[in-house]
Amino acid sequence: MTNNIKDKNSQESIRLEISEFNSDGSCNSELEGKKFKVFGAIPGEIVLVNIVKEFSDFTVVNVSKVLKSSPNRIEPPCEFYLLCSGCQFQHLDYEFQLKLKTKIVTEEILKNENFKHVEILNTIRSDKLYHYRNHARFTISKKPPLRGNLGFVNKFSRKIFKINKCLLMDHKINYLIKLIQGKLIGMSQLSIRVGANSGFALIQPDFQDIFSEIKSGQKKITEYFLGNPFRIGSPSFFQVNTKQAEKLSELLVEHLSLDGSEMVLDTYCGVGVFSVLLAPFVKNVVGIEISDSAIEDAIFNSRHLDNVEFIKDSTEEALKKLDFHPDIVILDPPRSGCKKNVLDSLKLIKPKKILMISCDLESFMRDTEILCMNDYQLKLVQPVDMFPNTKHIEIFGVLEKLN
């Protein structure tokens, strides 16, 4: 029975029965012909909700009270949950989160008739459910009453709310927040990156005039990754969950069956993590990267290896000019995925294997489907939980050339 009844504590509450999950972490519900996107719910539950925002074709609501609870529900530990855009799954127990991520990926892949044969593995769990992020970007309020306070932006009102800690962040980041909160007058943004393994910190911008006792304004940081030191310049990309990124990197070697004769092309290579880790197992690695800072780091990080080279260019342009034939291509593009001409070039280059790594299921599916139209077969998909308690899923896919 679905009735629009008012919660006795709140004039605004609406009673909803919850149906399936959406890809943004919300759930669907319908009442008297009206569609709702419900945050903080689980399919099968009956909840009271508060309206957050109304659109012409649906209304966004947050759960205010659970009337019939799912067995997979837990108490979200963060006081800012549902206000902040960082986490969507804190109210789900971790086993359920992992199963849900595998289900989301499986359903998306099986929508394509040609992918019925694909081996889809269970999502690789993260040992840490909280405090796994090595990088934080905060907004600082310039106006009273929060002037000088750092925080996040409310996902609905877009107003800054002050935080004293974020449960996703490394403990060292939260320690720093405690020291500086409320004293950041005149600043608008703050980035803190820490080495989860090395313990080093990189704080931007330089605020030594306010906090002389805290080192800031560093240009680079060193992080140990599977025992190897990597220099990471302040503007360079580096995976935010070091431990899970290590597990992801190990998948490369595990799924490549290398015999040492391979030429590997590591596109969108960042500071050269995959290039450096694969170098001992293959003949040559060539990395491609567009960012000046990341390519300088990659060259520095591979200085002890004589079979690694880097091309500073866009993957789009570098593939057009490639003067060797790679056996294996690693594709690890930004969230938006590969440009169409990258996929067109790969069809001409014809590597035997393509490893596709993506933090976005939609662009992963789009790019994989294009590659698999004639030339490649998607053999295996391995989701990795790089971002526990959030809707985000890292996806690792193995594509093999059809004869």
Ligand X SMILES: C[S@@+](CC[C@H](N)C(=O)[O-])C[C@H]1O[C@@H](n2cnc3c(N)ncnc32)[C@H](O)[C@@H]1O
Q: In the structure encoding, which two tokens stand for residue 256, read together?
A: 């490549």
- Does the annotation count 359 as an active-site position? yes
Between 39 and 225, CB nearer to ligand X? 225
User: Which one of 239, 244, 284, 345 is in contact with ligand X (CB under 6 A)?
Assistant: 239
- Stretch near ligand X under the rule CB under 6 A, chosen from 134-142, 196-204, 289-297, 348-356: 289-297
DSSP per residue, 182-198: T--TT--EEEEEE-TTT
Between 150 and 273, CB nearer to ligand X? 273
Q: How many CB atoms lie within 10 A of CB 97?
A: 24
395 near ligand X, rule: CB under 6 A: no
Between 89 and 225, CB nearer to ligand X? 225
- Stretch near ligand X under the rule CB under 6 A, chosen from 314-322, 348-356, 366-374, 381-389: 314-322
User: Which one of 45, 289, 360, 394 is in contact with ligand X (CB under 6 A)?
Assistant: 289
Between 31 and 290, CB nearer to ligand X? 290
CA dihedral 127, 204, 238, 246 (to 10 degrees): -30
Q: How many CB atoms lie within 10 A of CB 96?
A: 17
273 near ligand X, rule: CB under 6 A: yes
User: Phi and psi (nearest 5°) for 200?
Assistant: -75, 160
The residue of the chain with the least Cβ separation from ligand X equals: 270
Residue found by looking up tokens 């070039």 in the block = 345
Amino acid found at 270: G
CA 7 distance to own-chain centroid: 37
Kindly state the helix (H) or strand (E) to which residue 342 belongs, with its residue range.
Answer: helix 340-349
- Taking CA 367 as the corner, what is the angle to CA 365 and CA 373, rounded to the nearest 5 degrees? 95
291 near ligand X, rule: CB under 6 A: yes
- Does the annotation count 394 as an active-site position? yes
148 near ligand X, rule: CB under 6 A: no
Parallel, antiparallel, or unpaired: how do β-strands 14-17 and 59-68 relate?
Answer: unpaired
Residue 40 Rama label (left phi>0; alpha psi -120 to 50; beta): left
Site for ligand X in 332-391 (CB under 6 A): 332, 334
Between 138 and 274, CB nearer to ligand X? 274
Task: Please pick, among 108, 223, 246, 394, the residue that the annotation labels catalytic.
Answer: 394
How far apart are the C-alpha atoms of 60 and 50, rounded to whole Å?
A: 9
- Minimum CB separation from ligand X for residue 134, in Å? 12
User: Which one of 130, 132, 152, 268 is in contact with ligand X (CB under 6 A)?
Assistant: 268
DSSP 7: B
User: Which one of 115, 274, 364, 396 is in contact with ligand X (CB under 6 A)?
Assistant: 274
Q: In the structure encoding, which two tokens stand for residue 87, read together?
A: 């986490």
Task: Please pick, among 17, 359, 362, 400, the residue that the annotation labels catalytic.
Answer: 359
- Minimum CB separation from ligand X for residue 292, in Å? 10
Residue from 131, 159, 150 nearest 205 by CA: 150
221 near ligand X, rule: CB under 6 A: no
270 near ligand X, rule: CB under 6 A: yes
314 near ligand X, rule: CB under 6 A: yes
- Minimum CB separation from ligand X for residue 320, in Å? 12
Kindly state the helix (H) or strand (E) to which residue 331 belongs, with its residue range.
Answer: strand 328-331
User: Which one of 16, 279, 285, 294 is in contact with ligand X (CB under 6 A)?
Assistant: 294
How far apart are the C-alpha atoms of 118 and 211, rounded to whole Å?
A: 54
Count of residues binding ligand X (CB under 6 A)?
A: 18
288 near ligand X, rule: CB under 6 A: yes
115 near ligand X, rule: CB under 6 A: no
Strand boundaries in 42-184, DSSP class E: 46-54, 59-68, 119-120, 135-140, 150-153, 160-162
Map residue 208 onto helix, strand or coil: coil
How far apart are the C-alpha atoms of 261 and 306, rounded to whole Å?
A: 15
Q: Which residues pair with 286 in a beta bridge?
A: 265, 309
- Minimum CB separation from ligand X for residue 290, in Å? 4
- Stretch near ligand X under the rule CB under 6 A, chosen from 43-51, 208-216, 250-258, 287-295: 287-295
- Stretch near ligand X under the rule CB under 6 A, chosen from 80-88, 123-131, 282-290, 366-374: 282-290
Amino acid found at 95: E
- Minimum CB separation from ligand X for residue 299, in Å? 14
User: Which one of 66, 146, 290, 380 is in contact with ligand X (CB under 6 A)?
Assistant: 290
Q: What's the Rg (C-alpha) of the chain?
A: 23
**Active-site amino acid positions:** 359, 394
Report the interface residues with ligand X, using CB under 6 A.
237-239, 268-270, 273-274, 288-291, 294, 314-316, 332, 334
